[in-house]
Amino acid sequence: GAGVSQSPSNKVTEKGKDVELRCDPISGHTALYWYRQSLGQGLEFLIYFQGNSAPDKSGLPSDRFSAERTGGSVSTLTIQRTQQEDSAVYLCASSLQGTPNTGELFFGEGSRLTVL
Amino acid sequence: AQSVTQPDIHITVSEGASLELRCNYSYGATPYLFWYVQSPGQGLQLLLKYFSGDTLVQGIKGFEAEFKRSQSSFNLRKPSVHWSDAAEYFCAVFSGGYNKLIFGAGTRLAVHP
């Protein structure tokens, strides 16, 4: 596609429910990143994919968070047993390679998650 | 560990005034540095980047930034601000060993008419 696409754009859920957030990167981009942006906070790194592998998942805040990527393309971020502190905007970005030499990260518009 | 500090959380300027947003980084080697802008309800857009060479880099929308190694800074500037520049601005450093961008907390810019 023309840009990074994320869905849903908004998600309201009840505490304890599971949610899935989807990211469709720019075609041909091998690197994919998930970030979290909480109210008044900067961007917090969650996980990095190169192809289907995740060499860096150091930012996942707990074992309730997981992510996968299939076919070197679409990625899904899953949050199990959601808590109110999970409320945030989840941003996905992709780049042509996992280095900056080929350019910048291209970001989607994010999925806003609200946990009641 | 690599880190980015943006000392100003909020800045307000008058339309037509000059702007400087501060960014300091902590990184052991030559950094790769970026400025992104996030307009309300939109994703992040790259304004400019520094990899090497000329320490004054030009970006989109009339922005520029200067890399100063001695001060570990990469401040963003614009000579004349437009109302449409109201947004949140993020400075970031690429953590080469870990293949990810590390962002500052952001500076929210308000522009008065």
Query: Which residues in B lie closer than 8 A to residue A58 (C-beta atoms)?
Result: 98
Average of pLDDT values for B100-106?
Answer: 90
Residue from B47, B100, B103, B107 to probe the interface with A (highest A Cβ count within 10 Å): B100
| pLDDT tens sequence across B10-21 | 999 999 999 999
A41 has a chain B CB within 8 A of its CB:
yes
Residues of A in contact with B36 (CB under 8 A): 107
Are B99 and A48 in contact (CB < 8 Å)? yes
Tell me what the mean pLDDT of segment A39-55 comes to: 88
Taking an 8 Å Cβ-Cβ cutoff, which residues of chain B contact chain A? 32, 34, 36, 41-46, 49, 51, 90, 92, 94, 96, 98-106
The predicted structure's pLDDT at residue B30: 75
- Amino acid letter at B29? A
Average pLDDT over residues A36-65: 91
**Which pLDDT belongs to residue B96?**
65
**φ, ψ for residue B111, nearest 5 deg:** -120, 120
**What is the band of A55 on the pLDDT scale with cuts at 50, 70, 90?**
confident
The CA angle A101-A106-A109, to the nearest 5 degrees, is: 165
pLDDT at B1 over 90: no
User: Which residue did the predictor score with more confidence, B30 or B18?
Assistant: B18
Given a cut of 70, whether residue B43 has pLDDT beyond it is yes
pLDDT at A103 over 70: no
Residue B28 · residue B69 · CB < 8 Å: no
Calpha distance A36→B97 (Å, rounded)? 21
pLDDT at A39: 80
Q: What is the pLDDT of residue A1?
A: 54
Percent of chain B at pLDDT exceeding 70: 97
* pLDDT score, position B13: 97
* pLDDT band at residue B28 under the 50/70/90 scheme: confident
Q: Which residues of A touch B91 (CB under 8 A)?
A: none
A102 pLDDT higher than 70: no
Instruction: Name residue, tokens 């307000």.
Output: B12
Report the residue from B51, B90, B100 with minimal CB separation from A42.
B90
- How far is Cα B43 from Cα B40, in angstroms, rounded to an integer? 8
What is the rounded CA–CA span in Å between residue B92 and residue B3? Answer: 9
Say if residues A18 and A78 touch (Cβ distance below 8 Å): yes
